[in-house]
Amino acid sequence: MQTHFDLFHLPAAFDLDVDRLEAAYKEVQGQVHPDRFAHAGDAEQRQAAQWATRANEAYQTLKSPFNRACYLLELRGVHALDARNTAMPPVFLMQQMEARETLAEVAAGADLDALERLERDAKTQAAALMQEIAGLFQTHGNDAALVEALRKYRFLDKFLADIGAAYDTIG
Amino acid sequence: MALLQIAEPGLSTAPHQHRLAVGIDLGTTNSLVATVRNGVSVVLNDARGHGLLPSVVRYHADGACTVGYPAQARAAEDPHNTLISVKRFMGRGLKDIPDLATMPWQFVDAPGMVQIKTVAGVKSPVEVSAEILKSLKARAEASLGGDLTGAVITVPAYFDDAQRQATKDAARLAGLNVLRLLNEPTAAAIAYGLDNASEGIYAVYDLGGGTFDISILKLTRGVFEVLATNGDSALGGDDFDRRVYCWILDQAKLHTLSDHDKSLLMARAREAKERLSDAPEADITAVLTTGEVIDLTLPEATFNEITASLVTKTLLPTRKALRDAGLAAGDVKGVVMVGGSTRIPRIQAAVGEFFGQTPLTNLDPDKVVALGAAIQANVLAGNKTGDDWLLLDVTPLSLGLETMGGLTEKVIPRNTTLPTARAQEFTTFKDGQTAMSIHVVQGERELVSDCRSLARFELRGIPPMVAGAARIRVTFQVDADGLLSVSARELGTGVEAAIAIKPSYGLTDDEITRMLRESYDHAEDDMTARNLAEARVDGQRLVEATEAALAENGASLLDPEERAAIELRIVTLKAALAGSELTAVKRATDALNHATGDFAARRMDASVKRALTGHRLDELEI
């Protein structure tokens, strides 16, 4: 089966040249986008839509380091985000619970400065984690370590989304 | 599945034929039609030289209707049958419409979308919009001297699925082939030529008669992306008129006025506002029915003072949109002004101050959206060659499903590039469960009750199994126009039960056909003749495309048996085309479409490969 990497003629690796990905994506969309077939029949547009959809999915997956990492593991038959696997290191979970409590307090107190501090910290943590993931791919680290790092990353990602929502409620 | 016509980039499939294509701005207050003529986008005028068509439809007792200026002129006389600003009702239910009581119309609640009772019968906003579109279509065909290949119709960026679907249905009802629904701010950006050469962040500030919209767009490599939109649906040029009107009353110490005098002074207020766009002061003179003479001078400074709070009010949503996009005013590379009210000098100055730069105003702000739509229509019709760009629009709102407890499970998040498809698997929660109810919603909120309900449907015929054993895959597909279709399928046992829906406000294909019939006042056999003609065009096009494809790659991509199977179906279709039986033509077309599915896929595959291997990737233009 053609992988997302194959579609864009890119090596299947975590380390990826984003500019090359974007150029290849644009090249493919230029060929298959339904707008190129707007004056053609319905059925032809459907086919074009399928290809454009596929190109979009492949691009979105490869563009995001997190999605790219999960996808690479999936190609090896490892489903990092399997809902049945919920085990996490207790220390990490404790940290997360504390951070969430802090967020609730900050949001309730409408403390914008504290919210910004919280966001900065979470972003630093997320960046460090992504570095770790990149390192694990480079050194061919074991899949279990990658899965744990990705699951931690997802926690942080959701936390950052909640911080964004808190900005909205604070106004 | 069908055969694709694959053209080299920049080459249309039929290069010598100029196709007539238009862009239509179907506006709340006014609508316009534009086209590209000799490489320049121009608005098409009516016989009297008007470019704008007031979005007003008046229905008469005999079932006929008038559209535009004549309808607007009689609005005061016949308010119940003169429908104004129906765009606000497109894809909207009775409960969605605020201040119903202040409107003169008699609303009828209907599933999904309101309807309005007129002397010519109950009309849906889709039918009313179709009258406006028909009028513009007729104007374009008279002006261009031929049938239109297609049209690009603009919609506000925040329009949800039901509103987009309603717009597309109105076009269908008007007999227009919709090449694409285009977001209004994107159209405005295209009109300003903000394409490949102008990477960066742009703001589109749109102050119309009654609404204000701000959009933040990102342009990267010919990709137009709407990052954030915001606005105020009750703020527009009319509010400025009202401020001037109140100032007149105050200055002239007027208290009770007749209806005639009220509308006279409102008109004078509007004229004064318009004059202040290029004069330092405006004289206001009027003779009231009482014989009283009004003679005032409104200096620009006073006008700015009495309307200052309105100007400030537009900057609040602007700030919010920037924050949603995670940007600051300084990140914006250009500001496009849309809507007649942006002619007000104070507004231009305030927007300029806010963004720290002079906004773009050299195109007519009433026409800029239609002009941009026409440029895109020209590209989509295949007339433009060479440096065409690609518009990759995004989903304006998240799409999801209702899960246990009335919560929303997002399947496609907002700002996902179109077209897109996502599948999610669900299972049964009861032993022996044979049906599953699926509720599709649109919106950003977590509770289903806070989102817009798009559709509900049931997947039936699931084989009885223990709870959790069935695997039901629900697939969301959003096409390039932002329209959604959803299907569900049980995978667990290999038994397939699928249903595809097109969520809308309940206007089915049958209803569209009925409306078409009514609106054309045609006999049944005219409809059949029309259907046959359309089917023949489709069939003929497919034969030509298939033969061209076979000549090009038939030898390299097909084995002899596959080729023979396709050729056999070409012969059958040609025979059907020679006859006059609609079902035979349709069946033969479907059969050929089906037979060429694999071939089309291989051709597309080959074309994509060629695109990437024709040159080394590091040589690609970045």
User: Which of A34, A35, A51 lies closest to B604 in CB terms?
Assistant: A51
Q: Cβ distance A53 to B421 under 8 Å?
A: yes
Whole-angstrom distance, CA of residue B218 vs CA of residue B194: 10
In a domain, A81, yes or no: no
Residue of A nearest to B394 (CA): A56
Residues in chain B: 622
Predicted local distance difference test score (pLDDT) of residue B23: 97
Predicted local distance difference test score (pLDDT) of residue B113: 87
Hey, how many other C-beta atoms are within 10 angstroms of the C-beta on A18? 10
User: B600 and A47: CB-CB below 8 Å?
Assistant: yes
User: A19 and B622: CB-CB below 8 Å?
Assistant: yes
In a domain, A70, yes or no: no
Predicted local distance difference test score (pLDDT) of residue B282: 94
Average pLDDT value over all residues in chain A: 88
| Helix, strand, coil share (%) of chain B residues, nearest 5 | 40, 25, 35
**What average pLDDT does the segment B214-219 reach?**
90
Strand partners, B261: none
CA angle B300, B302, B306 (to 5 degrees): 120
Whole-angstrom distance, CA of residue A106 vs CA of residue B176: 54
Same domain, A166 and A94: yes
Q: Cβ distance B484 to B471 under 8 Å?
A: no
In a domain, A73, yes or no: no
In a domain, A152, yes or no: yes
Q: Cβ distance B216 to B227 under 8 Å?
A: yes
pLDDT-based confidence at B619, cuts 50/70/90? very low
Residues B249-272: tens digit of each pLDDT: 999 998 888 878 888 898 899 999
User: A43 and B379: CB-CB below 8 Å?
Assistant: no
**What average pLDDT does the segment B418-441 reach?**
85
B333 is catalytic: no
Given A12, A46, A63, the domain boundary residue is A63
Q: Tell me the nearest-neighbour CA distance from B235 into chain A, angstroms.
A: 21
**Is the Cα dihedral A127, A132, A136, A141 positive or negative?**
negative
pLDDT-based confidence at B608, cuts 50/70/90? confident
B87 is catalytic: yes
Among B160, B206, B261, B490, the active-site one is B206
Top mean-pLDDT range of B109-113, B267-271, B320-324:
B267-271
Of all residues in chain A, the percent with pLDDT exceeding 90 is 51
Whole-angstrom distance, CA of residue B503 vs CA of residue B141: 33
| Residue B622, pLDDT above cutoff 50 | no
Q: Quote the crossing angle between the two packed helices A65-75 and A42-63, to the nearest 10°.
A: 100
In a domain, A75, yes or no: no
List Cα–Cα distances, B598 to A3, A32, B99, B564, B574, in angstroms. Answer: 19, 16, 55, 14, 21
**What average pLDDT does the segment B100-117 reach?**
86
How many angstroms separate the first and last alpha carbons of chain A?
48
Whole-angstrom distance, CA of residue B549 vs CA of residue B604: 11
Selection from A58, B562, A155 nearest residue B553 by Cα: B562
* pTM: predicted TM-score of the whole model, two decimal places: 0.79
CA angle B256, B258, B259 (to 5 degrees): 125
Of all residues in chain B, the percent with pLDDT exceeding 70 is 88
Residue of A nearest to B477 (CA): A53
Selection from B189, B209, B271, B161 nearest residue B29 by Cα: B209
B184 is catalytic: yes
Q: Cβ distance B464 to B497 under 8 Å?
A: no
Top mean-pLDDT range of A57-66, B483-492, B593-602:
A57-66
Predicted local distance difference test score (pLDDT) of residue B494: 63
Average pLDDT value over all residues in chain B: 84
| Residue B5, pLDDT above cutoff 50 | no
Type of residue numbered B505: Y
Residues in chain A: 171
In a domain, A162, yes or no: yes
Cβ–Cβ contact A57 with B under 8 A:
yes
| Residue A54, pLDDT above cutoff 80 | yes
| Residue A149, pLDDT above cutoff 90 | yes
Same domain, A158 and A114: yes
pLDDT-based confidence at B13, cuts 50/70/90? very low
Tell whether omega for the bond before B419 is within 30 degrees of 0, i.e. cis: yes
Q: How many distinct structural domains can be found in chain A?
A: 2
| Residue A29, pLDDT above cutoff 50 | yes
Check residue A104 and report its DSSP letter.
H
CA dihedral A66, A71, A72, A73 (to 10 degrees): 90
Q: Cβ distance A10 to A62 under 8 Å?
A: yes
Residue that the structure tokens 């090449």 belong to: B179
Tokens coding B203: 């703001």
Same domain, A120 and A160: yes
Between B226 and B529, residue with greater pLDDT: B226
Tokens coding B84: 């104004």
How many angstroms separate the first and last alpha carbons of chain B?
34
Give which of B177, B375, B416, B417 to mutate to test A binding, by max A Cβ within 10 Å: B417
| Residue B307, pLDDT above cutoff 60 | yes
**What average pLDDT does the segment B423-447 reach?**
84
Whole-angstrom distance, CA of residue B28 vs CA of residue B30: 6
pLDDT-based confidence at B359, cuts 50/70/90? very high
Q: Which chain A residues have a beta carbon less than 8 Å from that of B180?
A: 35, 38
**What average pLDDT does the segment A72-98 reach?**
85
**What average pLDDT does the segment A88-107 reach?**
90
Cβ–Cβ contact A19 with B under 8 A:
yes
Q: Tell me the nearest-neighbour CA distance from A64 into chain B, angstroms.
A: 13
Residues B42-93: tens digit of each pLDDT: 999 999 999 999 999 999 999 899 999 999 988 888 989 999 989 989 988 8
Given A45, A63, A81, the domain boundary residue is A63
Q: Which chain A residues have a beta carbon less than 8 Å from that of B542?
A: 41, 43
Selection from B520, B120, B181 nearest residue B373 by Cα: B181
Check residue B160 and report its DSSP letter.
-
Residues 6+ apart with CB under 8 A from A140: none
Predicted local distance difference test score (pLDDT) of residue B7: 38
Q: Tell me the nearest-neighbour CA distance from A29 into chain B, angstroms.
A: 8
CB neighbour class for B36 (10 Å; exposed up to 12, middle 13-18, buried from 19): buried
CB neighbour class for B156 (10 Å; exposed up to 12, middle 13-18, buried from 19): buried
Same domain, A100 and A54: no
Q: Cβ distance B2 to B590 under 8 Å?
A: no
Query: Residue A13 belongs to what domain range?
Result: 4-63
Max distance between CA atoms of chain B, in angstroms, equals 93
Q: CA B478: distance to chain centroid?
A: 14
Predicted local distance difference test score (pLDDT) of residue B16: 46
| Residue B292, pLDDT above cutoff 70 | yes
In a domain, A146, yes or no: yes
Least confident segment among B24-33, B335-344, B520-529, B605-614 = B520-529
Same domain, A59 and A95: no
Same domain, A155 and A118: yes
**What average pLDDT does the segment B307-315 reach?**
94
Predicted local distance difference test score (pLDDT) of residue B620: 42
User: Which of A9, A10, A39 lies closest to B380 in CB terms?
Assistant: A39
Residue A47's CATH number: 1.10.287.110
> Chain B neighbours among A 121-160 (CB < 8 Å)?
none
Among B46, B184, B366, B402, the active-site one is B184
Of all residues in chain A, the percent with pLDDT exceeding 70 is 92
In a domain, A79, yes or no: no
Residues B549-599: tens digit of each pLDDT: 888 888 888 999 999 999 999 999 999 999 888 899 999 998 998 888 888
Predicted local distance difference test score (pLDDT) of residue A73: 94
| Residue B2, pLDDT above cutoff 50 | no
ipTM of the modeled complex: 0.82
User: B420 and A43: CB-CB below 8 Å?
Assistant: no
Residue of A nearest to B177 (CA): A39
**What average pLDDT does the segment B366-391 reach?**
83
Q: Cβ distance B53 to B401 under 8 Å?
A: no
pLDDT-based confidence at B484, cuts 50/70/90? confident
B446 is catalytic: no
Pairing of strands B53-54, B472-478: unpaired
User: A44 and B221: CB-CB below 8 Å?
Assistant: no
Q: Cβ distance B2 to A47 under 8 Å?
A: yes
